[in-house]
Amino acid sequence: MSALVEEMARKALKLRIPLSVQLDLTYRCNERCIHCYLDHHDHGEMTTAEIKDLLDQMAAAGVFYLTISGGEILMRRDFFQILEYARERTFCIKLKTNGILIRQKEADRIKALGVETVQISIYSHIPSVHDAITKLPGSLAQSIEAVRRLRAHGIHVIMANVLMLRNARDYAGVRALAAELGAEFILDPTITPMMDGDRSVLSLNVDENALREVFRNEALVGGNVEEFCAPPQGPDEDALDMLPCSAGHTACYVSPYGDVYPCVQFPLPSGNVRRMKFVDIWRDSPQLKEVRSITLRDMPSCSKCAHGGTCTRCPGLAYLEGNMRGPSTQDCEKSFARTGIPSVNLMSKKAAAAERLGKIQLVQIQNVPAMTAAAPV
Amino acid sequence: MNNKRYVARSTAIAARALGDETMVMSATNSTLFTLNEVATLIWEAADGATPLEEIVENKICMKYDVAPEVALKDAEGLVAELAGHGLLLISDQPIPRSKVVAA
């Protein structure tokens, strides 16, 4: 992050301005990705007029970075109408799409509307792997064609590679493909629970060995691996007053139904723009105020953890695990894979598991003589 | 002879007020700038219809204790720099509203 962007973020935090908002236009999608956290049915999306009104409100509230996402954003027939309106309100616009519906005409319009970045998910450079994840035959070829069309216009394209068991070995191939196409490559090693709390998709997450490999890859780390993987020193006094992340502080999320959450990964219902003004929710929502009140010092487990000052703990994942002041086990696992040092949370879980195992063994020992005595000779 | 200069915010930008400053990003190369309080006053008044001299006189000199010729020289430097980055348009004729983005 540049010094200027950091300074802007500091100022926005001080002024309580929602600098960044992700607005999902729809949860409908033409792919059915195995790891997706969304319900793809339409439960009453905001109308074009409602979204335009919301964009006016967000511009007035000071939103600068607007990420338009979904679902698949181009499933909305009014997508370009919304994009054009957002552009007129001088947002810095980022799009997230699978690119399948981006043909020449769409690429031309995206270029004309001065979009900052277009992020397209590419799960593998191997069609059979990518298409098995999206459950849409031919989807890799179509997504790559979209990348080519956008790049031909000079548009900044980001190829996002979500790492999971099925594609654990393919990130190098996707990275090479991104380089060939002139796109930026990012790797996300976290599968998140569904927004309704269903955690079954977490079984798709890569194992510790794959994570360790990623964290020791200099090209992916983008710096000194030894330093990145060094044992943590524990949080100092300054770190204890740190805010967990920008969610609810300078950023928030709005669903296609107008629900406001601190972040797309932090589905704490904080208000609805169909019933209240965006700025009133942002300023006065008790839920957002609670999120803002939490520092590392308030987290019983994390404040005592050696990783406290350096962990990438996601408060949304912690919330989905049951406690927004608690640890996010997925981030604990990442910290462990990165440094080899278990977090307080992982050690507690291990101790609890050992205790459970001890109890089971005790029951078995008690039962054995009785069973032996009852057994026929 | 009309030697007035008109300035207008380009449509190829992203911009937002942040307190008394303004963030401006070029949509063509994603370079980010911040405008201070004085530059923000000029930016907000750059509607393509008001001459720069009038903006300086009404927005700067009325608010700050500065000589008009000094303020105008500084303003000319600022608008030339912003125009160089594609953030502002400069013309010796009024600039049509369709080429000006809302403040």
- Encode pLDDT of A246-290 as tens digits: 999 999 999 999 999 999 999 999 999 999 999 999 999 999 999
Q: What is the pLDDT of residues A299-324, one digit of tens each?
A: 999 999 999 988 989 999 999 999 99
Contact flag B102-A17 (C-beta cutoff 8 Å): no
> Residue A223 and residue A265: Cα distance in Å, rounded?
27
Contact flag B18-A11 (C-beta cutoff 8 Å): yes
For testing contact with chain A, the best of B10, B20, B23 (most A CBs within 10 A): B23
Rounded to two decimals, the ipTM of the complex is 0.88
Contact flag A5-B13 (C-beta cutoff 8 Å): no
Domain contains B46: yes
**Sign of the torsion formed by the C-alpha atoms of A184, B29, A106 and A149:** negative
Domain contains B59: yes
At B14, list the tokens.
């992203």
Tell me the CB-side half-sphere exposure of residue B55, using CA atoms within 13 A.
26
Whether A196 and A272 have beta carbons less than 8 Å apart is answered as no
- The angle formed by the CA atoms of residues A271, A275 and A279, to the nearest 5 degrees, is 60
Please tell me the predicted confidence (pLDDT) of residue A17. Answer: 96
A95: pLDDT strictly greater than 80 = yes
Domain contains B99: no
Domain contains B36: yes
Comparing alpha-carbon positions, the chain B residue that sits nearest to A14 is B19
> Residue B29 and residue A156: Cα distance in Å, rounded?
10
Contact flag B14-A93 (C-beta cutoff 8 Å): yes
Amino acid letter, residue A314:
C
Q: What is the mean pLDDT of residues A225-248?
A: 88
Domain contains B1: no
At A79, list the tokens.
């997508």
Question: Radius of gyration over alpha carbons of chain A, in Å?
Answer: 23
Nearest alpha carbon to residue A281 among A271, A290, A289? A271
> Which residue's entry shows tokens 């690429």?
A107
A371: pLDDT strictly greater than 70 = no
Least confident of A25-34, A285-294, A348-357, B36-45: A348-357
- Higher-confidence residue of A39 and A277: namely A277
Domain count, chain B: 1
Phi-psi category of B45—alpha, beta or left, where left has phi over 0 and alpha has psi -120 to 50? alpha
Contact flag B32-A5 (C-beta cutoff 8 Å): yes
Which chain B positions have a beta carbon within 8 Å of A91's beta carbon?
14, 16
> Which residue's entry shows tokens 């009104």?
A53
A52: pLDDT strictly greater than 80 = yes
Across chain A, the runs of DSSP E, i.e. the strands, are 20-26, 65-70, 92-97, 117-121, 157-162, 184-188, 251-254, 260-261
Helix A127-134 vs helix A139-152: angle between axes, to the nearest 10 degrees?
A: 100
A377: pLDDT strictly greater than 70 = no
> Residue A362 and residue A140: Cα distance in Å, rounded?
54
> Residue A260 and residue A252: Cα distance in Å, rounded?
7
Q: What is the pLDDT of residues A129-180, one digit of tens each?
A: 999 999 999 999 999 999 999 999 999 999 999 999 999 999 999 999 999 9
Q: What is the pLDDT of residues A101-115, one digit of tens each?
A: 999 999 999 999 999
Whether A29 and A42 have beta carbons less than 8 Å apart is answered as no
Percent of chain A with pLDDT over 70: 95
Q: What is the pLDDT of residues B71-95, one digit of tens each?
A: 999 999 999 999 999 999 999 999 9
Which of B16, B21, B34 is opposite residue A90, by nearest beta carbon? B16
Please tell me the predicted confidence (pLDDT) of residue A364. Answer: 53
Which chain A positions have a beta carbon within 8 Å of B30's beta carbon?
116, 156
Q: How far is B62 from chain A (nearest CA, A)?
A: 26
Q: Containing domain of residue B10, as a range?
A: 6-93
Comparing alpha-carbon positions, the chain A residue that sits nearest to B99 is A88
> Residue B28 and residue B100: Cα distance in Å, rounded?
16
Q: What CATH number did the domain enclosing B15 receive?
A: 3.90.930.60
Q: How far is A250 from chain B (nearest CA, A)?
A: 12
Which chain B positions have a beta carbon within 8 Å of A5's beta carbon?
32
Interface contacts A/B by beta carbons within 8 Å: 52
Comparing alpha-carbon positions, the chain B residue that sits nearest to A63 is B16
A222: pLDDT strictly greater than 90 = no
Instruction: For chain A, positions 44-63, list CB contacts with chain B under 8 A.
Output: 59, 62-63
Helix A139-152 vs helix A104-112: angle between axes, to the nearest 10 degrees?
A: 40
Domain contains B54: yes
Domain contains B103: no
Instruction: For chain A, positions 64-93, list CB contacts with chain B under 8 A.
Output: 64, 88-93
Domain contains B102: no
Contact flag B14-A88 (C-beta cutoff 8 Å): no
Comparing alpha-carbon positions, the chain B residue that sits nearest to A116 is B27
pLDDT band at A363 (very low <50, low <70, confident <90, very high): low
pLDDT band at A376 (very low <50, low <70, confident <90, very high): very low
Which chain B positions have a beta carbon within 8 Å of A155's beta carbon?
none
